[in-house]
Chains A and B, each alone.
Chain A
Amino acid sequence: MKNFEYVSAPNLASAITQLQGSNSKALAGGTDLLTEMKERIKTPDRLVNLKSIHEMQGVRDDKDKLWIGALTTLSEIESHRFIAERYPILAQAAYLTASHQLRNAGTLGGNLCQSVRCWYYRHPDLTCWLKGGETCYAQEGINRHHAILGNAPCIAVQPSDLAPALIALDAVVRLKGDEVDGDLSLDEFFVLPDEGLRQRTVLGKSDLVVGVSIPKPAASSRGIYLKSMEREDWSFALVSVAVQLNFAGSKVGTARIVLGGVAGKPWRAKSAEAVIQGKVLNDSLAEEAGAAAVAGASPFEHNGYKVVLAKNLVKRALLELNK
């Protein structure tokens, strides 16, 4: 790891000022940033510790919504009583993230802002497009973990488990900084990278996620998070799906279907949502929704399986919620 300066920010305003310095990075749990620094993918001159910032801490039950501070650890989300009771989909997503040790250190904010896991991006001897180079090596390479949806010059997938679950819950993210400030739907927080912006969120260099708020679900609302992994623990999703449904009697009222592991950002499958809206769920409708979720998918040499997997997971999630 290269030498760096370490400063602790007493409050948000100070952190934002500190981050304006050249080559500064925000540090919370450090489970992603420190590994990138050890591997010399990132070599910041200064780390700004956020853990001392009060405004970013805590889980609060407001009347019509739940507030989760960006510094809340994944373990806290996994085991928090309110979350388990009202937003089981979020608790499930947290539980299925990484390993116990990583969940004890990793935070909500860090989980949303983490770098991609693409093994070309992470390779110390390669400067891929996302790292400022010219080539996305994954497109012609071993792309079994890569995107099947969304056209982007970089085909790495957004790796968060929490993000699809939070988007399915209509979460709103609170941002603070120079370039962005205020509340934004979490769905809009994530962007596909392009030539102008080789990154995955709307955050500028001195912008921070302060926390997210989740509206209180309707009494008839039910959700599920399913994740396909290469082993039972400590694995990013091959494909994951977050589904949150409001039922109107036996029919589906509003629906949210969000896929993880299939695109450069959490992928909201609106056409799949449309398939089931106002209908009574059954096997064939679930199948149809699954197919709609991956309509237009264009896999690469090694990730065609994800099309089937995503389709089947959507179907399974819907049928589970209909039980």
Chain B
Amino acid sequence: MPKVVTQQVEFEGHFFEQTVVIEGDDITPWGPEKEFSVVGQPHTRIDGSERVTGGAKFTHDIHLPGMLYGKFLRSPHPHAQIKKISTSRAEKLPGVRAIFTYENSPEIPWRMGLTKLFDKRIRYAGEEVACVIADDESICLDALDLIEVEYEKLPSVVDAELALENNAPKLHEAGNLVTGKPETYARGDVEKGFKEADVVVEGTFRTQVALHNCMETHGSAAVWEGDNLKIWDSTQHIFGVRDMVATALGLPKHKVRVIKQYMGGGFGSKNGAGKYTILAALAAKKTGRPVKILLDRREENLLAGNRPSTLQIVKIGATRDGKLTAIYHKCIANEGAYAAWVAGSTGPSTRMYACPNVKAENFGVFTNLGPVAAFRAPGYVEGTFALEAMMDEVAAKLGIDPLELRLRNYAEVDPTSGKSFTTKGLRKAYEIGSEMIGWERRSQIKKQNSTATKKIGFGMGSQIWGGSGGPPAYSVVKINNDGTAVVLTGTQEIGTGAKTAMAQIAAEVLAFPIESISVELGDTQIGLYSPLSAGSMTLASVGPAVRGAAEDAKKQLLDVGSQVLNIPIEDLVIENGDFLNKKSGERTPVKKIYEKLQNYMIVGRGARGPNPADKVVNTFGAQFAQVEVDIETGKVTLQKIVAVHESGRVINPLATRSQLEGGIIQGLGFALCEQRFVDPHLGLVLNASLETYKIPTMMDIPAIEAEMVNMPDPDVNNLGVKGIGEPPIIPTPAAIANAVADALGKRIYELPLSADRVLNTLYPSSQNERSS
């Protein structure tokens, strides 16, 4: 029976109390001793052939008869007031079907009411001014050229520190501080902690804006069937898009259907509907035809979200024997024009180490730039870089091995709550990872392989993150009369392999071959509610519901089978899709019983149970990097990276390895080459293309040695799984930056560690400017 309780919920490093309806807590978790036949085995994607043969339909692939296309006119100015807009010339262009501006569009509040669907006030270059709907995109672009807009240019600010000054241009009436106040955390007494310290280190760090650059850009297609609106959207949250669209357009939820079967990446930037979604729906209504609006790469990189740049100050105090006495961490994050939450980076400093005195302050700042979005472990990538750099400096000052220092401050319980962790495999990760990289032999490896111009270095980084998932999430398992089964959920596959993992879970429970299981998801109308696929929560939320549904279905199947076959239920098991009489050894295919039952259908129902109330759920890991720095060219080469993570039980080692590799590659991009550039005077983004925004290529990727500490978590959910989507990106930049500092004998406090930055550090006199 459902119970209503209040519990603590974690999302993307933020914690809050939530009232939840609890059910599905009656299933015994799979303990560490449980043996499996499908779960825990490497399995290629069940939808792999569709993906590689082009059969998989992404939002970009939706082509409907009579479809129209849309493109936005975007402001060339970072801050402006629209005085006048004239679309009459554009309307006359053949093929143009509709043009939307603030003059003829509903006033839909946007970004938590900070702006509107079309706002006369422009707060960043690239913001939507008008939308043209036409027979094809090329006509749209021609029409955009014909729209006349009169702007009153306003002073703009793109630097977060400048935006905090008193005389800075204000983006919003309430000022440039996101939520109007810093987000703070404190435990103990940091001042006292620093007084007790034998050594104190302090560093000022800067990290860059990183762009998600999903392979499939953001976009939606919409069509009305009567008064039913159907939307295809490249999203991480079909129910979120449905709810946003329903609210924006004043529609009841049962009239809005959102579909997303496949998508080319999200990384946190696709957690809700876009203006393109609303405009596609509005335009489809107005024209009576299907409408598709997709962002191009440039638009994607101007406005579809980013990892905010940070300025961080980290100060750590420690005793002579390496015990941390105090940590102070301040972060100023540049969140662009709109944000509803403070994008802080201090999470790792408050939670990673057993330190009694901690103070953290996070300032989110509005600037005239494209808005922030969650980006794979938001805040934790940047914060871990700064924290772990300072840990290495403490180690160096004390003459303690960096790994040893971390072990001396190992948090046996959650330092913020005093509660114990459900599982914590970090010690094991340190042990395995340091062995794999040759941590003990590193001085020798450095000596042997460094030359006069190429210096080898080693570094490490630790990882803490959430990833518990949680309720609500539901699933239904249907058993067809040919002995096949369909798993129905309302989650979405964002490319991680969740679909395959859910098939493995159902196959394991039902004891059906995995080939006889199909998994349906990505449709709000026929699916059952599931949370957004973010915060490393999909499998840990939906997987347990799938198990619940499969267990329910299996129970019914055995019950029915026992009656049809006339075998006592206690003698009956299912094995490889057959009923097996344990006593006689006689096998009967499941479909055989249906010969007497025609179209009887077994329907099992499952729900995600609650998270533990008395324990804290976190994921952990450690990475170790070996780099070579060319001191003549400034080039940093990541030679080898070792990653060992603990995220509970591993359902599919193959998909998990993909997540580790993907996270590490994205992390190495952040560490070495990815960086958005903005002209400080013009307020314009300069590198919104894939040629100029440097994502690592295959040639940049080294040997990746990745392993999981397979540690089933008996408390988190009935599968023992935690999330693994975000953890692997977290310690990569920290490990690389520490390795570069080790190679150079000198620390660089900014990312990325690009050639210019390395050379400017090694040859400070080269920074002289041209005398004019």
Contacts and interface: CB of A to CB of B under 8 A. Distances in A.
Interface of A: 1-2, 99, 117, 119-120, 122-126, 137, 140-142, 144, 228, 230-235, 238, 298-305, 307-309, 312-313, 315-316
B321 interface: no
Interface in B138-161: 138, 141-142
B165 interface: no
B766 A304 contact: yes
A125 B76 contact: yes
B400 interface: no
B173 interface: no
Interface in B685-700: 686-687, 689, 691-692, 694-700
B684 interface: yes
B69 to A, nearest CB: 15
Interface of B: 76, 125, 138, 141-142, 298, 453, 632-635, 672-673, 677-682, 684, 686-687, 689, 691-692, 694-700, 754-756, 759-760, 762-763, 766-771
Given A141-B681, A299-B769, A309-B755, A232 B697 contact: yes
Contact of A119 (B677, B700, B759): B677
A119 B760 contact: no
Contacts of A301: 769
Contacts of B677: 119, 142
Main secondary structure of the interface of B (DSSP, over half): loop
Nearest to A315: B632
A171 B422 CA distance: 70
A112 B453 CA distance: 33
A126 B684 contact: yes
B679 A230 contact: no
B625 to A, nearest CB: 17
A140 B697 contact: no
Given A228-B755, A231-B696, A232-B697, A300 B633 contact: no
A304 B682 contact: no
A235 B697 CA distance: 10
12 contacts: A122-B689, A122-B692, A137-B682, A141-B680, A231-B696, A233-B699, A299-B768, A303-B756, A304-B767, A304-B768, A309-B759, A312-B632
Given A119-B686, A142-B686, A238-B755, A307 B681 contact: no
Contacts of B697: 99, 231-234
A125 B684 contact: yes
Given A231-B700, A234-B691, A305-B755, A141 B632 contact: no
Nearest to B635: A228
B770 A228 contact: no
A120 B694 contact: no
A18 B684 CA distance: 38
B381 to A, nearest CB: 19
Contacts of A305: 634, 755-756, 759-760, 763, 766-767
Contacts, number: 104
Contacts of B686: 119-120, 123, 141-142
A95 to B, nearest CB: 12
B676 to A, nearest CB: 11
A305 B694 CA distance: 19
Contacts of B770: 298-300
Given A231-B695, A233-B700, A300-B769, 20 more contacts: A1-B138, A2-B142, A119-B692, A120-B686, A141-B679, A141-B681, A228-B634, A230-B754, A231-B672, A231-B694, A231-B697, A232-B699, A233-B699, A238-B755, A238-B756, A299-B769, A305-B759, A305-B767, A308-B762, A313-B632
A119 B677 CA distance: 10
Contacts of A315: 632
A298 B770 CA distance: 5
Contacts of A303: 756
Nearest to B686: A119
A232 B682 CA distance: 31
A123 B684 contact: yes
Contacts of B762: 308
A308 B760 CA distance: 9
A313 B760 contact: no
B94 to A, nearest CB: 12
B110 to A, nearest CB: 23
Given A1-B138, A2-B142, A234-B697, A228 B679 contact: no
A225 to B, nearest CB: 14
A38 to B, nearest CB: 9
Contacts of A141: 679-682, 686
A270 to B, nearest CB: 22
A144 to B, nearest CB: 6
B529 to A, nearest CB: 42
Contacts of A232: 697, 699-700
B632 A316 contact: yes
B673 A230 contact: yes
Nearest to B696: A231
Contacts of A142: 677-680, 686
B602 to A, nearest CB: 52
B766 A308 contact: yes
Nearest to A143: B770
B681 A308 contact: no
A125 B700 contact: no
A262 B633 CA distance: 15
A298 B768 CA distance: 9
Contacts of A300: 769-770
Given A231-B697, A233-B699, A234-B697, A119 B768 contact: no
A140 to B, nearest CB: 6
A116 B646 CA distance: 48
A117 B771 CA distance: 25
B632 A137 contact: no
Contacts of A117: 692
Contacts of B699: 231-233
Nearest to B453: A316
A184 B232 CA distance: 58
Contacts of A307: 766
